[in-house]
Amino acid sequence: MSEVTVLAIETSCDETAAAVMRGDALLSSEVASQIPLHALTGGVVPEVASRNHLRALRPVITRTLAAAGVALADIDAFAATCGPGLASSLMIGTSVAKGLAVARRKPYLAINHLEGHLLSPFFGTAEGVRPAVALVVSGGHTLLVEIEAFGKYRLLGQTQDDAAGEAFDKVGKLLGLPYPGGPNVNRIAADGDAMRVDFPRSMLHSDDFDFSFSGLKTAVRYLLPKLGGISLPDVCASFQEAVVDVLVAKTLRASEATGRRVIALSGGVSCNTRLREKFRAASAARGLELLVAEPALCTDNAAMIGYVAALKLAHGETSPLSVDIDPNLRLVA
């Protein structure tokens, strides 16, 4: 990859993030989390998120440039997430990146947040992006994708209702845990018995690569009034096991069906320790190669946006300034 220096910005939801890439090397990555702010309301209020991006973005960019040891004048291209996400949040990052690109007379790149997650497991690997079956599990999306090469993706399946992370967050809320539910359910599940409650594994045996998690959430809700001797850790562990079982089984089946022997896990839910453990064991048993990014690259960050921007630049791609945000942007058209 050429030694182009890119400043990437990510403001699609509730993290204000910036990163500097030089070629395929990450020079710095900063994330200002809004989690404490949204914990007060038990979820993200779009208006609050966008106002906070506005306040946080400038200092985050300044810190990121300083950590990379570069000045704004050293940046060769400016990239930002253009979707999917919250409109009022996406607007902040893209406006700043476009403004900087115009002021510095440098190219702009509009980046798909989902492509950022999708390719993050390849970041820092010697081979770069390779053919694989990819599972993207975040707060907003649950996708199974066949990667043929950079920019060539085939959607195999997706959730029909709630995303996996959304299910974790809603169940966390039902159980009275702080926002976001995912990491808290994961932490409490460590002391629980995953076999204690036999929660439904929706669509486990369906003849497709789609998912459904809303029935599972409902099952937890109906169980709550009659918990009896079932402890909170047992509920967390049993719920988590049901989610993980379906994600692992369908991904393995997709690997079999496509013949792809590399599995790439990404998105916030891929931080889940039980998910990683089960995927590691299943991949080892079948001789598959498992790629999963370090946790800081799994949740929302700008390094993954910078990585896609660097790949696009290496392929001679930039975006016109007329590219608008798209809150419903898809990975595959």
Give the max Cα distance, the chain.
Answer: 66
Q: Of the listed pieces 25-33, 131-139, 167-175, 314-322, which binds Zn ion according to CB under 5 A? A: 131-139
* Burial class, 23, CB count within 10 angstroms (exposed 0-12 / middle 13-18 / buried 19+): middle
The binder of 93, among ligand KG4, Zn ion, none, by C-beta within 5 to 8 A per type, is: none
Residue 300 near Zn ion by CB under 5 A: yes
3-class DSSP state of 124: coil
Q: Of the listed pieces 29-37, 150-158, 174-182, 314-322, which binds ligand KG4 according to CB under 6 A? A: 174-182
Q: What is the dihedral of CA 13, 17, 21, 27, to 10 degrees?
A: -150
Quick note: the x/- pattern for ligand KG4 over 27-66, rule CB under 6 A, is ----------------------------------------
Residue 180 near ligand KG4 by CB under 6 A: yes
The binder of 306, among Zn ion, ligand KG4, none, by C-beta within 5 to 8 A per type, is: none
Alpha carbon 128 to chain centroid distance? 19
How far apart are CB 333 and ligand KG4 at their closest, in Å? 20
Sheet holding 262-266, edge to edge: 152-158, 142-149, 132-137, 262-266, 289-292
Residue 116 near ligand KG4 by CB under 6 A: no
Sequence letter at residue 145: V
Residue 279 near ligand KG4 by CB under 6 A: no
d(Cα 88, Cα 69) in Å, to the nearest integer?
A: 31
**Helix 164-174 to helix 181-189 angle, to the nearest 10 degrees?**
70
The binder of 168, among Zn ion, ligand KG4, none, by C-beta within 5 to 8 A per type, is: ligand KG4
Positions touching ligand KG4 (CB under 6 A) are: 13, 138-140, 165, 168-169, 180-183, 186, 267-269, 271-272, 299-300
